[in-house]
Structure 1
Amino acid sequence: MKEKSSRRGSHGFGLVALALLLALLAANYFGVNPFRPAAEAKEPERPSLLVSIQDMSQYHAAVGNFEVIIDSQENGISWLPDFVSGERTLFLAKGTVNAYVDLGGLTGESYQLSEDGKKATIRVPAAQLDKPNLNVKDSYIYDQRRGVGKAISDAFSTPDQSKFFEMAETRIASAAEESELRDRATENTKAMITGMLKPSGVEAVFVE
């Protein structure tokens, strides 16, 4: 009896092994490999959609590059000396400001063509300044002195540099207003208009 049972057991095991082998061969035939690592999940590609197109009348005539140093001082706790709770930070900020002329402002009252068509009298709109475009990558803290207590507390928190960028944006905007950037943009715009009219034999005359 034991011999028959062992034969039946080995026979059954052989059938199971054969069935598994056939299943693996069939899976491989149909391109399914159960031993192949699972493929990484990939986000399906979605087409980019153009929402709208806007016509621009601005002529960007000049760009100013600015650097400012922000000297920020915090006194800390009033009843403690600065070497304990005070902080002083020197922050170097870099950025650009675009100067442009809105040519959409050239209405019929802004230009006049002579009767012989050889001279155009033009009043160029005033140049405008964009908001400063800060260069975050090249702006950094290059010197910082903190009191002992301040240094310990900051060691357990993430430094926040947003206030330095806000101060830098204000400073750069003021520097751009005081610079010759507007005048340069106006002169470049006049040169551009002169160059456009010259091939047509029209002389550009600018008035304030």
Structure 2
Amino acid sequence: MGMAESPTPDHPTSEYPAVPDRPEDSEPTPEQVRPSGCARLLIFVGFVFALIVLTCFGLRAVNVLPSFDNPFAEETTDRSQPVLLQSMRDLHRYVAADGTFQVIVDLQENRDNIPDFLVNRRTLFVGSGTVETYVDFSALSGDALKIDEEKKTIELTLPAPQHSTAALDMQRSYVVAEERGLFNRIGDAFANDPAKQQKVYQMAQERITEAARASGLDQRARDNTQRMLESLFARLGYTTVTVTFAAP
């Protein structure tokens, strides 16, 4: 048996087939240069999408489409019920003066023998409210008005001016600071007690109403009421109007 002839370097063997020519050594065919069907589809979809976006911007510029700046913009919906009339009453009072007051309420609630960092509630509240001072003409007695037609004089006996309960202005009232203990925070996380806020509001109303009584509104109300009655009866031809207020 003769020995197999060894392959020369220029002739490939069956174990090592010939290596194809490199791509750069040959020119690509038109089929290789042309994009595939999937690529053409992606290009078409991208073109259509860009056309839609440009159309939307154009319509928005002429105020045809709404703004799409923030798809998560906050929206407020009013689901309030109609106003229910609870009562009506006739008023026979003359509001002669009013005063606007501001009070700082510093209310603290804690428990004895318990550290403040566990159980403590301190609220610093600035309250602004208005108190009206009025004269109630519905309480006049039969002899409260004495008229002398010959002398054109009138004598009036009126009740003392009264103060209304302070009406808080919630646009000018606000909580400055609030401190709560650990247990208070845990409790508030599971339940909200409106009565706690109401207590602060009530205290502010009481303080403002007390301040109004010592502010001189009573005397201002007397003077304004007397000037109003003098002007009223002077137009009716009376020359002298005497107004006397009852003791508070």
**TM-score normalised over the length of structure 1:** 0.64
Q: Does the CA contact (< 8 Å) of 1:124 and 1:186 recur in 2?
A: no
Which protein shows a greater Rg? 2
Q: Alignment partner of 1:112: what SS?
A: strand
Q: Which runs of 5+ in 2 are unaligned?
A: 1-81
Q: Larger RCO: Structure 1 or Structure 2 (Cα < 8 Å, ≥ 6 residues apart)?
A: 1
Distance in 1 (alpha carbons) for counterparts of 2:168 and 2:87? 27
The number of residue pairs the alignment matches comes to 161
Of 170, 176, 189 in structure 1, the residue corresponding to residue 225 of structure 2 is 189
- Counterparts of 1:46-65 in structure 2, within 5 Å, are 55-65=90-100
Residue aligning to 2:129: 95
> Does the alignment pair 1:178 with 2:203?
no
Q: Does the CA contact (< 8 Å) of 1:87 and 1:150 recur in 2?
A: yes
Superimposed CA distance per residue, residues 35-94 of structure 1 (whole angstroms, 9 cap, x where no aligned partner): xxxxxxxxxxx9x99999754321111122121111111224x34322343232211112
Residue aligning to 2:146: 112
Would the alpha carbon gap of residues 51 and 73 (structure 1) be closer, same or farther in structure 2, given more than 3 Å must change?
closer
> Does the alignment pair 1:201 with 2:237?
yes
Q: Which runs of 5+ in 1 are unaligned?
A: 1-45
- Counterparts of 1:145-156 in structure 2, within 5 Å, are 145-156=179-190
Letter in 2 for 1:122: L
Residue aligning to 1:123: 157
Distance in 1 (alpha carbons) for counterparts of 2:149 and 2:186? 79
**TM-score normalised over the length of structure 2:** 0.55
Superimposed CA distance per residue, residues 81-108 of structure 1 (whole angstroms, 9 cap, x where no aligned partner): 2234323221111211221111233444
Residue aligning to 1:164: 200
- Out of 154-163 and 63-72, give the one that drifted further: 154-163
RMSD: 3.0
- Give the % identical residues: 37
Of 99, 104, 116 in structure 2, the residue corresponding to residue 69 of structure 1 is 104
Distance in 2 (alpha carbons) for counterparts of 1:115 and 1:137? 52
Q: Alignment partner of 2:91: what SS?
A: coil
Would the alpha carbon gap of residues 122 and 137 (structure 1) be closer, same or farther in structure 2, given more than 3 Å must change?
same
Letter in 1 for 2:102: E
Residue aligning to 2:114: 80
Would the alpha carbon gap of residues 143 and 52 (structure 1) be closer, same or farther in structure 2, given more than 3 Å must change?
closer
Q: Alignment partner of 2:211: what SS?
A: helix
